[in-house]
Structure 1
Amino acid sequence: MLLIKKRALEDKSIYINEFVDFDSKWLDRARKEFEDCRQNGIILNSSFDDCTWILTNEHKYTRLNFVFPQTLFQEQISKKRRSLSMSFEEFNNAVKAFIIFKIHYNTQNKLKALLLFLIKVVENTDYFHPKKASDWLDGYRKKERDSSMRQINDFLGFIDFLPISDIHVMKVQAQEDFESMKESYYMVQKGNSLNRRQLGEFQSYFYFDKLFKQFWFHIATESEKLYYYPLFLWWELTNILPLRPTEFTLIPYNCLIPNSEGGYKLTIRRTTLKGINKKFVFHKIDEDYELFDYPIPFHIANYIKDYQEKTKKFGDSVFLMNYECFLSFLPPFSQLTLKAKRGQLLAPFSISTLDTILMHFYKDILQGKFNLEIVSKESNKENRLLTNELKDNEEEHFIKPTQIMKINLGDTRHFALINMALSDVNPILIKDFTGHSDINMSYHYFGHIDKIVKCISYNKFKELRQTIIDEGKISTLRPVTLNSIKSILNKDNERYRVVDLGKCFSPKFYEGDITHCVEADNGDCFNCKFIELSDKESKEILENRKMVLEKEIKDDGIYFFNMITKYKGYLNEEAELNRSFLKLQQSTNEYLNLEQK
């Protein structure tokens, strides 16, 4: 028996649950569902019986290949003497029916992943042979780090749907193990999320921003700007609005709305298929995405208008990103191939198009013009910067000035959400953009906030250090530290008083006025901008305080995101949400102040 969701015919906003039994009517039901999807343009095939189905959601194609081993199936009957209660054709049709019944539960990527998972299970268990199935489950539990709980859950629904007589052995064991596997899986996911990103990644983020702006405003030719403009808009826009890559590629062409104050709002599409607001999957852009308007800085609006002007010659476009402009940079044969492959799509400019441009930027610009070494997150496992876990006695380090890690298209959403949390953005708006109900996403997005703050302070130090060196105020023959820089900056103010932690250059404190002391958390010299630490003991205390703050920032970030996830709009919840928001900002500001000591 299989549970499916259907839209009510009399009211399209209402969804009802139905059960489908494996009886004489299930195949007719599946074929009717297939035909409905074909009529709606979701499936491009003409026949349910095709071995390969081609699906589309108007901005990409997905191929589903139903390639189950027929010889293996026949061996189970002839050699293993199993009574499978169905023919191979019936089994294949059962899989197709299962997929078609799930088509409005899942995105097309998830449907493909589910089908590949079913094929893998069949091949590894000899069509759910009791002994093979037991061995496979035992091995699978040891690999739950790589598993998908959604696929496992759907798989349980699939084997419950099949009438194979001896499949109950696997069914019982799988159901008994499912809860323990799920608990273990989420514990592992939590650990993975906390360890996933390292300092080198965040440093590369700031470095990428600096180099991109240097290239764009000082080096790029008009031809290069035309090719890299989608990437430039992606970088500028998704760093302030945490859009998913697909949401960015689906920004409508007429997206700028002037306001009465001379500024602009930007119309964007946001998916309805994520988190607690997940709806029925239509596989249509207008129904799976909703339009929202957000104010944007004036300079970004000008970039968009400039891009629209430059791409007019390539013809009209429904979406902001112009696919014909991208094609114009390719050889004629490649243009013809891509037009034939994606020409029927409503939105041909996809994530893969944007990723191609990003790859060329790393290869031709960062590597070719800036002579940087592109460091992969997945390769070079001996480099401790790239590993997911550090040993207890190891410490993370920043990458070399000649290196940069590759940024993925989805990374800017991660950084934009953290940046919103560290700024004065309304926490309710941050919640609106997160759109996730899974508590583990808090670790994914905010479990590294301490490292972002550390990189911010590190980059501020580098800029200050270079300014001091350029002005010839300090010798580069000795180490340049924050304290030595502070000593140079304080040379113009010789008047100070000696205090327990070093020298206080507060002009008010020198005259006997303790106003600055009160402002610095009632006499806490660590939080005072006028202190210059002078002895080793004070510096050790400072480093210990910074370590404590790093943990506080990470914990405060995770707690803040948890509050966002749970927020329902009640008065007491809003007060706690604002409190956690302010606490996160307070910890961050204290850390940045300490880094200036």
Structure 2
Amino acid sequence: MFEKNSANWQTKYILNKVDILEFKLSQDLVGKSTVSVIEHLQYDKTDSTLYLNNFSTLKENGYIVADSFYDHIWTLPCKIKANDFQLVFDLDIYGDLNEAVKAFITLRKSSGVSSHKCYDELQFLKKTIRLSKGLEQTNNLKDKLLSMSEPRAYTLSNVLKNFISFFPFEQGEEVLRICSSIPFATSGNRNLPHFHDVLIFNDIVNDFFQTKPIENTLKFMPIMFWWLITNILPQRPTELLLMNIDCLEHRNDESMWLKVPRIKNESDSPERVIKYDSIQIDAKTYQLISIYKMKLNEFGIKDEYLFPRDFYQMFRKKPKRQAFNRMTLYNFEFLLQEFYIEVVEGLYSETNLEKIKPGDTRHFAIINMFLQGFNMLSIARMAGHDVIATQDNYYSHAEHFSQSYVYILAQKMLERKISDTMPEGFIGWRRDAYDRGKIYNNQDTWDMLKVDYGYCKEMKEIFPSSCVEDCRICNNYVFKPDIEKYEQGIEWLQDYSGMLNQRMNELHLVMKEQSSSSLLSKHPYSDEILKTNSMKLVKYMNHKAVVESILMEEERYD
């Protein structure tokens, strides 16, 4: 929902956890993308001054830890991933190449390549050099690249191309020809877990953190905040784990805010800057985080981070030393694995769910935003994407997500546990239930109004003035056809379900076209049109769930 407020717009995200949790993102979150050109240099083994000076600068600023350029082992710290990457230069039998690779890595690091990527590129260059006997026997190189997945083969062939342009050698043209033969890897759809399993996991998280004592849930509080925040704000897990302990702000106007970290790449620099954006939250969210901070204080844990290493180590049988004083992504992945074992499988007996990865929630948030009617440019900016086309991969999941939501909502209706009509989020904190009604016998229907293939529970005095567009989507409708018309009634329900499905698919296509078209996005009412279509989509999803819950009850759901 967009609210115009003088010069800027604010974006609301709403989650339900007992009370409504509200996030407001100001347009300040929208960052600017820059494109830079790096001068291509060629290696000169007779003059190492440039590389030695480059190494010294990186060392002085803490980007490389080593005594000298000629050390066999360099350490590249990474604050973002809370990890130290050890680069081993052990191509001793290819002395010139060893030196050239070192010089290449210093240039890559200086130009803004991450420590992790530098490590990855070094590993590939070393394998390539060894496989080709010092880049002299290239016959096995193509087979090696083709044995990899297409995206990785294409990425690493570009690494080789960069190295060849930096370090010309006799077989360079042949290697370049091999690299150029590797097909461009189109970005495929990310393999997200089945959304039916995601929604079950969502219910488990809701129930666990709302109904279990704090002694049981404390260990997994980082899981709660991850699920709460990153399903709404498309934030990377590495950004979440960088959140500071002083992330809360209570302003003079009584508004409450959460400061969230965003990783920004500095142009032509090894520096990856962490900047903080403020998101307005409600009192319930503020209280949740405050209680967690109070618990940290009770345990005597005082640290700059919201997810400190000492808190994570409290629940380890054999605490291990860590170079950084906060939870790493590896720690978080391990904690999530424990949550599945101890809570999802152990406590709730859900042993066959497809597991969610920490980075998946960012994708759920993007899908969620699309289904809520945000245009592609807004999503790209909030997700930190430089290329708008990146969003196409997410939209392909939207139809599947909608169908999964319909299915599980229909199940809840059947189980007499139905959520309120969806507000603005599809995954979040919600667990309301009411009794949709018992199974009616003939005596129960005597005082009801006879309608198509069943009865209506509405009071006769106000019938039909209170009717909705179709009996099949009304909560007052009881499906109870005469025996000779039973199959006809089932077909009547299935036809309507199919029609709703068609309308949903049509709206998915319309919304995708609207949000991705630069021409349509400039229309003065573009956002309003998207929101209107989003509301229609939600309505059709809810209607379809009502119809399919009846078909499930009759054991005729396909």
TM-score (norm 2): 0.75
Unaligned runs of 5+ in 2: 1-33, 419-433, 480-487, 548-558
**Contact map agreement 1:130 1:170 (CA 8 A) in 2:** no
Aligned residues: 486
Q: CA deviation at 1:283?
A: 3.9
Instruction: Give distance in 1, aligned partners of 2:270 and 2:523.
Output: 34
The match for 2:97 is: 91
The match for 1:462 is: 411
**Contact map agreement 2:235 2:383 (CA 8 A) in 1:** no
Q: CA deviation at 1:124?
A: 3.4
Q: Which amino acid is the alignment partner of residue 282 of structure 1?
A: P
Gap change, CA 1:536 and 1:93, over 3 Å in 2: same
- Alignment pair present for 1:535 and 2:489: yes
- Alignment pair present for 1:165 and 2:170: yes
Instruction: Give distance in 2, aligned partners of 1:545 and 1:472.
Output: 24
**Contact map agreement 1:271 1:290 (CA 8 A) in 2:** yes
**Contact map agreement 2:307 2:326 (CA 8 A) in 1:** no
**Contact map agreement 2:262 2:276 (CA 8 A) in 1:** yes
- Alignment pair present for 1:272 and 2:264: yes
* The one of 273, 284, 288 aligned to 1:303: 288
* The one of 219, 226, 241 aligned to 2:233: 241
**Contact map agreement 1:549 1:591 (CA 8 A) in 2:** no
Gap change, CA 1:123 and 1:527, over 3 Å in 2: farther
* The one of 87, 90, 94 aligned to 1:67: 90
The match for 1:495 is: 449
**Contact map agreement 1:245 1:409 (CA 8 A) in 2:** yes
List aligned pairs for 1:299-378, cutoff 5 A. 299-312=284-297, 313-331=299-317, 334-335=318-319, 337-338=320-321, 341-342=322-323, 345=324, 348-373=326-351
Instruction: Give distance in 1, aligned partners of 2:119 and 2:515.
Output: 31
Gap change, CA 1:506 and 1:516, over 3 Å in 2: farther
Q: CA deviation at 1:293?
A: 0.5
List aligned pairs for 1:72-471, cutoff 5 A. 88-103=94-109, 104-129=111-136, 132=139, 136-137=141-142, 140-141=145-146, 143-147=148-152, 149-175=154-180, 177=181, 181-182=183-184, 185-186=185-186, 189-190=187-188, 192-193=189-190, 196-197=191-192, 201-222=194-215, 224-260=216-252, 262-273=254-265, 279-284=267-272, 288-312=273-297, 313-331=299-317, 334-335=318-319, 337-338=320-321, 341-342=322-323, 345=324, 348-373=326-351, 403-423=352-372, 429-438=378-387, 441-467=390-416
- Alignment pair present for 1:43 and 2:28: no
**Contact map agreement 1:257 1:266 (CA 8 A) in 2:** yes
- Alignment pair present for 1:55 and 2:76: yes
**Contact map agreement 2:243 2:260 (CA 8 A) in 1:** yes
Gap change, CA 1:468 and 1:157, over 3 Å in 2: closer
Gap change, CA 1:141 and 1:325, over 3 Å in 2: closer
Deviations along 1:250-275, one digit per CA (max 9) or x if unpaired, are 112211112455341111111224xx
Q: CA deviation at 1:25?
A: 6.1
Instruction: Give distance in 2, aligned partners of 1:578 and 1:359.
Output: 42
Q: CA deviation at 1:67?
A: 3.5
Q: Which amino acid is the alignment partner of residue 369 of structure 1?
A: L
Q: CA deviation at 1:404?
A: 2.2
Q: Which amino acid is the alignment partner of residue 122 of structure 2?
A: L
Q: CA deviation at 1:327?
A: 2.0
Q: CA deviation at 1:329?
A: 2.9
**Contact map agreement 1:69 1:123 (CA 8 A) in 2:** no
Instruction: Give distance in 2, aligned partners of 1:136 and 1:493.
Output: 81
Q: Secondary structure at the match of 2:192?
A: coil
Q: Secondary structure at the match of 2:416?
A: helix
The match for 1:544 is: 498
Instruction: Give distance in 2, aligned partners of 1:149 and 1:440.
Output: 19
Deviations along 1:188-241, one digit per CA (max 9) or x if unpaired, are x33x44xx235xx3222222222233333333452x433222222222222222
Deviations along 1:284-303, one digit per CA (max 9) or x if unpaired, are 5xxx2221001123212111
The match for 2:555 is: none
Gap change, CA 1:127 and 1:543, over 3 Å in 2: farther
Q: CA deviation at 1:106?
A: 1.6
Gap change, CA 1:474 and 1:434, over 3 Å in 2: same
The match for 2:4 is: none
Task: Give me the CA root mean square deviation.
Answer: 3.8
**Contact map agreement 1:51 1:66 (CA 8 A) in 2:** yes
Q: Secondary structure at the match of 2:306?
A: coil
| Structure number having the greater helix percentage | 1
- Alignment pair present for 1:28 and 2:56: no
Deviations along 1:294-346, one digit per CA (max 9) or x if unpaired, are 11232121111111111124343112112222223334xx44x41xx41xx4x
Q: CA deviation at 1:51?
A: 1.9
Gap change, CA 1:559 and 1:22, over 3 Å in 2: same
Q: CA deviation at 1:491?
A: 5.2
Deviations along 1:378-414, one digit per CA (max 9) or x if unpaired, are xxxxxxxxxxxxxxxxxxxxxxxxx322221112212
Q: Secondary structure at the match of 2:522?
A: helix
**Contact map agreement 1:105 1:280 (CA 8 A) in 2:** yes
Q: Which amino acid is the alignment partner of residue 244 of structure 1?
A: R
Percent sequence identity is 19
Instruction: Give distance in 1, aligned partners of 2:218 and 2:230.
Output: 19
Q: CA deviation at 1:353?
A: 1.9
TM-score (norm 1): 0.71
The match for 2:533 is: 583
Q: Which amino acid is the alignment partner of residue 164 of structure 2?
A: I
Q: Secondary structure at the match of 2:353?
A: strand
Instruction: Give distance in 2, aligned partners of 1:120 and 1:578.
Output: 54
Instruction: Give distance in 1, aligned partners of 2:395 and 2:269.
Output: 29
Q: Secondary structure at the match of 1:54?
A: strand
Unaligned runs of 5+ in 1: 1-12, 71-87, 374-402, 476-484
Q: Secondary structure at the match of 1:56?
A: strand
Q: Secondary structure at the match of 1:467?
A: coil
Gap change, CA 1:142 and 1:351, over 3 Å in 2: closer
Q: CA deviation at 1:159?
A: 1.4
Instruction: Give distance in 2, aligned partners of 1:49 and 1:492.
Output: 93
Instruction: Give distance in 2, aligned partners of 1:140 and 1:491.
Output: 71
Gap change, CA 1:326 and 1:455, over 3 Å in 2: same
Instruction: Give distance in 2, aligned partners of 1:578 and 1:148.
Output: 43
Deviations along 1:42-92, one digit per CA (max 9) or x if unpaired, are 11112212222111133321122223473xxxxxxxxxxxxxxxxx21110
Q: Secondary structure at the match of 1:197?
A: coil
**Contact map agreement 1:238 1:416 (CA 8 A) in 2:** yes
**Contact map agreement 2:261 2:277 (CA 8 A) in 1:** yes
